């Protein structure tokens, strides 16, 4: 079952990807607004067995990146290749075959598990759908998967409602792993869990990666969450990549003022001051309207100068593999 992890070998290539959604006009006599770009010109790569953490505020486009990878978002520009194949050009049947290799793990494990099904059937379902195993063979595979995610074998005959959030997320992970994917899109997989459980699930993701060589796109609001699971991190702001680089470079020498603001917002670990946050950036997170010039972070940026309001900063290398879209860094 183990696959060879090789971060140098590209598994996913996102090249200049934009996803546009139609916007309803306010009234029928109004001009139809241009489509809204939930993500706009996003590029990155992910290697085999590697984790790219994706962070940003609510509405910044993180889930849309994940949906685009799963073939569930309308591309307006760019292309996405997976293991050398351009996803956007695949026929329906080819896309269904590819889905086996790209599996989702969602935020709310309860909402994503059918409460009326037994855990064994929930985990075995993708095996049947993809024609991989059935009957006794599927049963044996379920037992193996439960063991892999740290759940006792009697879990198989129970229903998901009788488990805690952390256990349900383990079931969700077992289901995603059933078909031996190369890649998992984990969309805020620990955000709904108690803080005390989060580290356990993050460690499980890490251990599974070491054992199976699976790669992750790991989405979170918060830089603290992705720290222990990511090899590299992409910080997104208003649909664009603000900064991307190796994990230690992002934490140790952040280049974009937005990344610095997110780092400042990481909760203070001192138990006496639990829940407190360091001072953070001022201003509202807003999406650009028709007047979309320059850097989208400029209205909130303490370093903004004239050029920031006039021209979009390119994502430029600040160090090898470490890129930031900022005129003033």
Ligand X SMILES: Nc1ncnc2c1ncn2[C@@H]1O[C@H](COP(=O)(O)OP(=O)(O)OP(=O)(O)O)[C@@H](O)[C@H]1O
Give contact residues for ligand X (rule: CB under 6 A). Answer: 21, 36, 38, 56, 58-64, 221, 287
Q: Which is nearer to ligand X, 64 or 167 (CB)?
A: 64
Structure tokens at 328: 């003033």
| C-beta of residue 87 within 8 angstroms of C-beta of residue 49 | no
Q: Which is nearer to ligand X, 121 or 222 (CB)?
A: 222
Closest approach, Cβ 147 to ligand X, in A, equals 32
Closest approach, Cβ 220 to ligand X, in A, equals 9
Q: Which is nearer to ligand X, 2 or 111 (CB)?
A: 111
The 3 state secondary structure assigned to 53-65 is EEECCCCCCHHHH
| C-beta of residue 238 within 8 angstroms of C-beta of residue 312 | no
Q: Which is nearer to ligand X, 58 or 196 (CB)?
A: 58
Q: Which is nearer to ligand X, 127 or 184 (CB)?
A: 184
| C-beta of residue 78 within 8 angstroms of C-beta of residue 17 | yes
Closest approach, Cβ 97 to ligand X, in A, equals 26
Residue 172 class from Cβ within 10 Å (0-12 exposed, 13-18 middle, 19+ buried)? buried
Closest approach, Cβ 62 to ligand X, in A, equals 4
Q: Which is nearer to ligand X, 74 or 246 (CB)?
A: 74
Q: Which helix (H) or strand (E) holds 323?
A: strand 322-324
| C-beta of residue 113 within 8 angstroms of C-beta of residue 176 | no
Closest CA to 53 of 157, 168, 206, 277: 206
Length reported for the chain: 329
Tokens 């006599």 locate to 29
Closest CA to 303 of 278, 323, 324: 324
Closest approach, Cβ 143 to ligand X, in A, equals 34
Closest approach, Cβ 38 to ligand X, in A, equals 3
């Amino acid at each position: 079952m183990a696959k060879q992890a090789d971060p140098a070998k590209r598994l996913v290539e996102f090249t200049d990807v934009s996803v546009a959604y139609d916007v309803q006009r306010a009234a029928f006599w109004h001009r139809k607004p241009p489509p809204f770009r939930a993500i706009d010109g996003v590029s990155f790569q992910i290697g085999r067995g590697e984790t790219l953490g994706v962070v940003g505020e609510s509405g910044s486009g993180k889930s849309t990146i994940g949906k685009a990878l799963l073939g569930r978002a309308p591309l307006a520009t760019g292309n996405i290749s997976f293991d050398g194949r351009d996803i956007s050009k695949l026929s329906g049947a080819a896309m269904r075959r590819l889905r086996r290799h790209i599996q989702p793990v969602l935020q709310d494990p309860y909402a994503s598990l059918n409460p009326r099904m037994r855990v064994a059937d929930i985990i075995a379902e993708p095996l049947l759908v993809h024609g991989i195993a059935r009957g006794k063979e599927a049963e044996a595979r379920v037992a193996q998967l439960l063991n892999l995610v740290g759940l006792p074998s009697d879990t198989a005959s129970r229903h998901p409602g009788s488990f805690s959030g952390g256990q349900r997320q383990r079931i969700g992970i077992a289901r995603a792993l059933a078909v031996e994917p190369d890649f998992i899109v984990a969309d805020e997989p620990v955000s709904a869990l108690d803080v005390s459980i989060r580290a356990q699930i993050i460690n499980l993701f890490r251990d599974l990666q070491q054992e199976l060589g699976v790669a992750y796109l790991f989405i979170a609001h918060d830089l603290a969450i992705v720290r222990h699971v990511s090899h590299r991190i992409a910080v997104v702001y208003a649909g664009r990549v603000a900064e991307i680089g190796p994990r230690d470079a992002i934490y140790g020498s952040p280049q974009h003022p937005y990344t610095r603001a997110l780092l400042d917002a990481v909760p203070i670990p001192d138990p006496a001051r639990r829940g407190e946050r360091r001072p953070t950036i001022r201003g509202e997170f807003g999406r650009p309207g028709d007047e979309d010039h320059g850097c989208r972070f400029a209205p909130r940026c303490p370093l903004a100068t004239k050029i920031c309001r006039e021209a979009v900063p390119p994502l430029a290398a600040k160090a090898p593999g470490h890129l930031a879209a900022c005129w003033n860094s």
